[in-house]
Amino acid sequence: MSSVVIIGAQWGDEGKGKVVDYLAQQADAVVRYSGGSNAGHTVVVDGIAYKLRLLPSGILYHGKTCVLGNGVVINPRVVLGEIKEMQDKGVDISRIAISDRAHVVFPYHERLDELQEAALGDAKIGTTKGGIGPCYMDKVARVGIRICDLMESDTFAEKLKINVAAKNDIITKIYGGEPFDYDAMLKEYLEYAEIFRQYVTDTGVVLDELFAANKKVLFEGAQATFLDIDHGTYPYVTSSNPTSGNAAVGSGVGPRFIDHVVGVVKAYTTRVGEGPFVTELFDTDGPGNYIRETAKEYGTVTGRPRRCGWLDAFMLKYSARVNSLDYLAITRLDILDGMPKIKMCVGYKIDGVEIKQIPASLKTLAKVEPVYEEFNGWMTDITGCRSFDELPENAKKYLKRIKEVAGVELGIVSVGPERNQTIVMADLL
C-alpha cells in the first residue's frame, strides 16, 4: 500500500492537476476530498488542455478509479457536464465513484453566494460564486441534502421542499431577489439522480478495499493551505479544509492510510479573489505584469486576472508545518526563464523586527514587510530540462534556497505543462 496527498501550499492554482496527472501514471486511484466546482485544475496531454473542476485528474488514464469523496460538495450539473465532455473526448469514465455522503450543490446555493457577496460590498471575499460556501453552510447547519438523499426520491422531495421554502424566504425577504420554483428544481434533480445512480457508492469502503489489495492511491487537494477555513487568511478563504488532514476525513479513511504529503508550489505566488498578499506586485509593466502575461494567470473557472507576486517562501514554512509536508513540487519554474532578476521573500518584519510566525490577525498581517533576497535569473529556456543537473546554475540556486527556507525536500520540479516536462527528484508513490 502506498498513498500520497497532493495539496496546494499557497493560494491555489499551483498546478495540482498537472502534478496529480503526472503521478497518476503509477496510481490505481485518485480521490478528491474537499471543495467543489470552485476548483479548476488544468491538465495538458499532447497539447490538449483538459479543464477539470470536480472529476479527479486521474480521469485521463484508462482504468484508474476516480473518487469524489464525502468531503466534496457536488454540483450535479457541473459533474455531468464534465462526464459528457470526457465521453465526447473518448476518455474512459466507467471507474467514477461518487460518495453517497457527499453534499449536493443547488441553484439556491449559487444565488445565495452571489447575493451574500453583493451585500458585503467592499468587504467581499471574491468567491467563485459556485455556491460552495452556502452548501457547506447547510452541511454544518445540518440541513444539507446528501447524495444518498438524492437517491431516494421521496426523501429528496421532502428535504428539497423544506430547503427551497427556507432559501426562498432568505432570497426574497432579506435580499429582495426572485424565488425558486420547487417543482422545476425537483424535476431537474430527479433526472440527474437517475444518471448519477450508477456511480454512487460508499467510497470509504471502495478505498478500504483498494488499500487491502495493496493498491496505490493519490489524494488530490483542491484550493490550498492559505484558503483553508482554519489555517488560511480568514475570512478570505474557502469554506472547507484543503489541508492534508482533511484527506482522511473527507474521504472516509483513517490517517494511518496516508504515507506522504506533497505540497505544490508555484515558482512565484498568485492569488485570485480578495485578501492579504504580502509579496503582491502592483506594477502594470514590471515583473508582476510580466508574470501574469507570460504565465497567462487568469482564473480557470472565472477568467479573473490572478494577482501576481514574488515567491513567498516564508509562507511555505507554515504550509510545511500544518500539512506535514514531506516534499515540495515546484511548478512553473519556466515562467521565470526571461527574468533577469528574481526576488524571494524569506522572512517577515513588523516595524523593522523579524517575526517567527505568520500572524492570525489580518490587522497585524497588514503591517508585515517582506524580507527579500534577490537572485540573478538564468535567462535560458529550461522547458527541455529533464534532470536537476541539466538546469542552469542560477535556477538550481533558486530551488535550493526554496528548499532551505521551507525546510522541505524537493520532490518534483515542473518546467512546462506537459506530462514529460517534469523533473523527478524523489520516489513519491
Question: For binding to ligand IMO (CB under 6 A), which residues are involved?
Answer: 8, 12-13, 38-41, 125-128, 130, 132-133, 222-224, 227, 238-239, 272-273
Q: Which does 414 bind (CB under 5 to 8 A by kind): ligand GDP, ligand IMO, Mg ion, none?
A: ligand GDP
Q: What is the nearest approach in angstroms of ligand GDP to the Cβ of residue 387?
A: 15
CA separation for the pair 126, 122 (Å, rounded): 10
Q: Which does 127 bind (CB under 5 to 8 A by kind): ligand IMO, Mg ion, ligand GDP, none?
A: ligand IMO
Considering only 335, 336, 406, 423, the residue that binds ligand GDP (CB under 6 A) is: 335
Give the position of cell 525536500.
409
In the complex with ligand IMO, the residue whose CB is nearer, 55 or 391, is 55
Q: At a CB cut-off of 8 Å and minimum separation 6, what does 261 contact?
A: 4, 5, 7, 244, 323, 324, 325, 326, 327
The C-alpha cell that represents 416 in the structure block: 512546462
40 makes contact with Mg ion (CB under 5 A)? yes
CA separation for the pair 387, 424 (Å, rounded): 7
Catalytic residue status for 13? yes
Q: What is the nearest approach in angstroms of ligand GDP to the Cβ of residue 301?
A: 8
237: three-class secondary structure by DSSP: coil
Subset of 40-69 contacting ligand GDP (CB under 6 A): 40-42, 44
Considering only 2, 7, 11, 13, the residue that binds Mg ion (CB under 5 A) is: 13
Distance (Å) of CA 153 to CA 29, 148, 193, 349, 364 = 31, 10, 9, 58, 51
242: three-class secondary structure by DSSP: coil
Catalytic residue status for 28? no
Which of 35-43, 51-59, 183-191, 272-280 is the region at the interface with Mg ion (rule: CB under 5 A)?
35-43
Identify any residues that bridge with 375 across adjacent strands, giving them in sequence order: 342
Single-letter code of the amino acid located at 148: C
CB 17 within 8 A of CB 52: yes
Site string for ligand GDP, 391-420 (x = CB under 6 A): -----------------------xxxx---
CA angle 234, 236, 242 (to 5 degrees): 75
Name the packing angle between helices 107-120 and 153-169 (round to 10°): 20
In the complex with ligand IMO, the residue whose CB is nearer, 39 or 150, is 39
Residues that bind ligand GDP (CB under 6 A): 8, 12-18, 40-42, 44, 300, 331-332, 334-335, 414-417
Residues that bind Mg ion (CB under 5 A): 13, 40, 300
For the annotated catalytic residues, the residue numbers are 13, 41
